[in-house]
Amino acid sequence: MTIAPSLSRQQPAASVHPGPLLKVEDLSIEFGPKGTAVRVVEGVSFTIDTGAAVGIVGESGSGKSMTSLAVMGLIPSPPGRIATGRILFEGVDLLGLPRSRMPEIRGRDIAMIFQEPMSSLNPVMTIGDQIGEAIKLHQKMGREERRQRVVELLKLVGIPDPERRLGAYPHQFSGGMRQRVMIAMAVACNPKLLIADEPTTALDVTIQAQVLELMHKIRRTLNTTILLISHDLGVIADICERVIVMYAGKVVEDADVKTIFRSPKHPYTRGLLQSIPRLKDENTRLYQIPGMVPLPGTIKQGCPFFPRCPDRIDKCARETPPLLEITPQQKAACWVSAGATS
């Protein structure tokens, strides 16, 4: 598998880590027994700089959630396993760490917000206790000090009357409020990297906008690096400055948001952008990419998007395109965009 040509800064792992905050190299994730294992993520490489906000977009089954779970070390195993690759966080390979070290990193250095605010909180614990638990785990603090911190966090995420809400149970909160609590829990220990896996998908549109606004606020006030996973390019464009497009377990395009919207280089990205409804043309039928996402493991050779691609050439059926540098700011896994003709 080809490793994406890295952007200028290739530095050895060091304790001070002058390089990017997170660097994923050639990550492949398999499910199933060895031998007949199915690769759901293959050869994924990307970097996230400190302070950046990067989005991963793709449809269901594209491997975006698996990639984020791999960073957290949460791939459900036995069935799943990381087949190849390295995940360098501040220069340290998380995959090489002993299992017992991961809990120290989770929550303190890397935190995660989940998709299901309705069920991501323990129903029999008060929200004050749940947020406090995260703090207690990673920071030495007295009881009263911790309580103050929880109140502060609830205030930060915009929960009214936080002092009184501490003793409330999750079922007394609405979906949007619970997602706020989840965010408070995630940022409780000032993580360096915040992974948000579809944080707004389960919410209705007005609450979605509020949660996105909150993410902005978190970024401004805490200076957190954000990795946002979504199937919604609009959500990603709102928060992130760079976007990684995934398709069938591979990165197909990696560019900054403006470039992607202005001149998408991979036909799949173009398809995605064309299928966003626009306010101006109300009477035309919405574009849809023909065909379906291939099942994991069914593409043996060639470009995974080949069967659905409007611009395909013969070469695409034979050779899998690596992530090719189109411009210094934009990389796409497409022979045609890279200038191949036959």
Distance from C-alpha of 342 to C-alpha of 336, rounded to nearest angstrom: 9
Fill in the per-residue mask, 207 to 226: x = in contact with other proteins (CB under 8 A), - = not in contact. Answer: x--x----------------
Q: How far is the CB of 123 from other proteins (least distance, A)?
A: 7
Calculate ∠ Cα 116-120-121, nearest 5°: 140
Q: Look at the alpha carbons of 195, 201, 204, 205 in this order and tell me if their dihedral is positive or negative.
A: positive
Q: Which is nearer to other proteins, 63 or 107 (CB)?
A: 107
Measure CA 51 to chain center: 15
Q: Determine if 319 is a binding residue for other proteins (CB under 8 A).
A: no
Contact with other proteins (CB under 8 A) among 104, 145, 163, 314: 104
Which residues partner with 324 through β-bridges? 332
Q: β-strands 193-197, 225-230: how paired? A: parallel
Q: How far is the CB of 174 from other proteins (least distance, A)?
A: 4
Q: Which is nearer to other proteins, 104 or 152 (CB)?
A: 104
User: Interface residues for other proteins in 38-77 (CB under 8 A)?
Assistant: 72, 74
Contact with other proteins (CB under 8 A) among 18, 35, 78, 339: 78
Q: Determine if 154 is a binding residue for other proteins (CB under 8 A).
A: no
Q: Of 15-23, 46-54, 86-94, 133-141, which part binds other proteins (CB under 8 A)?
A: 133-141
The span from the first CA to the last CA of the chain, in angstroms, equals 22
Binding residue count for other proteins, defined by CB under 8 A: 46
Which residues partner with 185 through β-bridges? none
Q: Which is nearer to other proteins, 168 or 273 (CB)?
A: 168
Q: Report residue 337 as tokens.
A: 């965009």
Q: Which is nearer to other proteins, 177 or 309 (CB)?
A: 177
CA separation, residue 319 to residues 42, 43, 134, 301, 340 (Å): 15, 15, 48, 6, 12
| Of 2, 3, 1, 4, the residue nearest 255 (C-alpha) | 4
| Of 198, 305, 327, the residue nearest 252 (C-alpha) | 305
Fill in the per-residue mask, 180 to 199: x = in contact with other proteins (CB under 8 A), - = not in contact. Answer: --x--x--------------
Contact with other proteins (CB under 8 A) among 26, 49, 116, 232: 116
Chain residues that interact with other proteins, rule: CB under 8 A: 72, 74, 78, 103-108, 111-112, 114-116, 119-125, 133-134, 137-138, 158, 160-161, 164, 167-169, 171-177, 182, 185, 203-204, 206-207, 210
